[in-house]
Amino acid sequence: MGFEAVRVPNGGEPPLAAGIWYPTSAEPRDVPLGSFTQHVAPSGPPKGHTLPLIVISHGGGGSYAGHYDTAIALAKAGFIVAAVSHAGDTFDDQSKVLMPWRRPAQLSRLIDFMLKDWQAHADIDPQRIGAFGFSNGGFTVLVEAGGIPDLDKIDPYCAENPRHDLCTALAKAGVHSVAKTVLTPPDAWKPDRRIRAIAAAAPAFGFTFDRTGLASVQIPVLLWRAADDRHQPDPWYEEHLRSALPRPPEYHVEPLAGHYAFLPPCSAQLRGAAPEICIDEPGFDRAAFHQRLNAALASFFSASLQSQSASH
């Protein structure tokens, strides 16, 4: 697999950091990527024509490297994969966390870059674009698919569930009313109709979407829930979305999995630095889960983007 780190224009702000994985015939080697090591061919020439594109949106406080193993698995399956670091909601900059509408706009700028400016943009099939997101990234891809959240639902949710992670985090940050603190712009929630299928793993803010807000999500959706997700407790997230989506999503529940099971197996260094992200329940095998997760994502996108392109 080829890999390239790029900078993506971001309006009047500094460029966004992004990573691109793609099929190549160049020889791979072990290359460090953040706290991981990936086996890739840096800047090897892309191989193939009219390839489908998958864009990836990481969780809160993450980076474009956060789903590198999934990106490599999708590239092996014949996709070009691009992931962006969401400025204002990354591991080193949490200054714009309460402006979640920035994320879908950034993901759309990544698609703009891939279709117009990337070295092999002519090899991408613009009719076959999918998006995968985890946690805040799951929220992001739901908005891109046409979902319109109502952030005013957060205050009553936290009044009823003050011990849920989202609510304790807001209280710790001194935010006692989202409705009074967060001024949502009138044009905040814009869909990106170039995206023809989405996969959302443990999507954040699930309860902020209702049937009306999800009515225009008419593309295929894959929804994945971690059965032991204490960060986003059931049934306020995936189950809520599942019942409110206009078309039944493909739905998976992973037994014993915690919220962070969707992130790649940790190195010893990362396990020491961030045990809460790395340590799973006894009996849960994250590496084995990722083989199943990545195979299911490749299969879902292959099927849903194939049928989409056939219908155009």
Helix (H) or strand (E) holding 136: helix 136-144
C-alpha distance from residue 309 to each of 80, 158, 217 (Å): 16, 42, 18
Percent of the chain topping pLDDT 90: 92
Residue range 248-266, pLDDT digits in tens:
999 999 999 999 999 999 9
Mean pLDDT of 26-42: 92
- Region of residue 9 (phi > 0: left; psi between -120 and 50: alpha; otherwise: beta): beta
Q: Report the predicted TM-score, pTM, of the whole model to 2 decimal places.
A: 0.96
In this structure, the number of other CB atoms found within 10 A of the CB of residue 247 comes to: 10
Cβ–Cβ < 8 Å for 195, 131: yes
Longest dimension (CA), the chain: 55
Burial of 47 (0-12, 13-18, 19+ CB in 10 A): middle
Residues in the chain, total: 312
More confident residue, 84 or 311: 84
Instruction: Name the pLDDT band for 307 (thresholds 50, 70, 90).
Output: low
Task: Give yes or no for residue 224 having a pLDDT over 70.
Answer: yes
- Whether 310 shows a pLDDT value over 70: the answer reads no
Q: What is the DSSP string of 227-259?
A: TT-SSS-TTTTHHHHHHHSSSPPEEEEETT--G
Q: Is 85 helix (H, G, I), strand (E, B) or coil?
A: coil
> What pLDDT, on a 0 to 100 scale, did the predictor assign at position 312?
45
Give the separation between CA 146 and CA 155, rounded to whole angstroms: 23
State residue 268's pLDDT score: 87
The mean of the pLDDT values for the chain is 95
- SS3 of residue 309 by DSSP: helix
β-bridge partners, 202: none
> How much is the pLDDT for 306?
83
For the chain, what is the total number of helices (H) and then of strands (E)? 11, 10
User: What confidence score (pLDDT) does residue 267 get?
Assistant: 87
Query: DSSP E strands: which ranges in the chain?
Result: 2-10, 13-22, 29-33, 36-42, 51-57, 80-84, 124-134, 197-201, 221-226, 250-254
Lowest mean pLDDT among 80-89, 101-110, 210-219, 301-310: 301-310
- Going along the chain from its start, the domains and CATH numbers come out as 2-149+189-310 (3.40.50.1820), 152-187 (no CATH)
Share of the chain above pLDDT 70, in %: 98
Residue 215 pLDDT exceeds 50: yes
pLDDT reported for residue 269: 86
Q: Which residues, in sequence order, are bridge partners of residue 54?
A: 81, 130
pLDDT digits (tens, 9 = 90+) for 51-87: 999 999 999 999 999 999 999 999 999 999 999 999 9
The per-residue pLDDT for range 116-165, each reduced to its tens digit, is 999 999 999 999 999 999 999 999 999 999 999 999 999 999 999 999 99
At residue 80, the pLDDT reads 98
**Residues sharing a CB contact under 8 Å with residue 80, sequence separation 6 or more, in sequence order:** 20, 21, 22, 23, 46, 51, 52, 53, 54, 114, 120, 123, 124
Nearest to 31 by CA among 4, 57, 53, 9: 4
Per-residue pLDDT of 231-249, as tens digits, reads 999 999 999 999 999 999 9
pLDDT score recorded for residue 28: 94
